[in-house]
Amino acid sequence: MKPNKIVGIYLAAGKSTRMGSDKLRLPLGSMKLGNYALAAALRSELDDVVIVSGDPTADWIDRTFYQGPSHRKWTVIHCWESHLGQSHSLCCGIAAAQAMNAAAVMILLADQPLITTAMINELLIHYQATTNVGFVASRHDGLSRPPVIFARRMFPDLLRLEYDQGARKLIRESTLGVSIDFTSADLFTDVDTVEDYSHLVKRWKS
């Protein structure tokens, strides 16, 4: 078993309430929207990726991910309590990572389709070069946010989150980590509403 394993936790169990339909299944280019950040994670130096889904079928996952080496890098877990808030999805992901003997996890959001492999790898490099740090987060315009890597010693704090509290709460309140600046706002594009999706499609086509 590999020491210092870093597992990606891909949060894909949201209810898409503001969108009105499952945003992960929305068409975007050659794949459905939920696949783009996943593709970046699978191409990265992460050791494994746990996809936390609120749907046991997770049928939005592109069939190409079932082929070749990438198929051995990911697994889906159905989080039965995901409808109660993001903290429950995080707990499901942390439990899976602990079972895999992860030394750290990277929290990734499935509704951020412009996340890149280079960004993920840069965070991994900074984490591996830093000692005694609780987390390494992304930052843009002074605001820290996911993707974020949490060391194993932060797992109890993640497990104590409640309701719809996510990793952002720890990133912004804890003094145990560092943040890495990324200049491109595009990397942090998230899709919550029909308007967000419409703007993204227009940019994608151009």
Q: Closest by alpha carbon to 137, among 93, 168, 115? A: 168
**How would residue 4 be classed by pLDDT, with cut points 50, 70 and 90?**
confident
pLDDT at 3 over 70: no
Give the domains, in start order, of the chain with CATH numbers: 6-205 (3.90.550.10)
Q: How confident is the model at residue 52, as a pLDDT?
A: 95
Give 54 or 31, the one with higher predicted confidence.
31
Q: How confident is the model at residue 84, as a pLDDT?
A: 67
pLDDT at 1 over 60: no
pLDDT digits (tens, 9 = 90+) for 150-193: 999 999 988 888 766 677 777 777 778 899 999 999 999 999 89
Q: How confident is the model at residue 164, as a pLDDT?
A: 66
Q: Closest by alpha carbon to 129, among 4, 8, 2, 37? A: 4
Whether the model clears a pTM of 0.85, i.e. scores above it, the answer is yes
pLDDT digits (tens, 9 = 90+) for 104-115: 999 999 999 999
Q: How confident is the model at residue 20, as a pLDDT?
A: 64
Question: Stretch 85-92: mean pLDDT, rounded?
Answer: 83
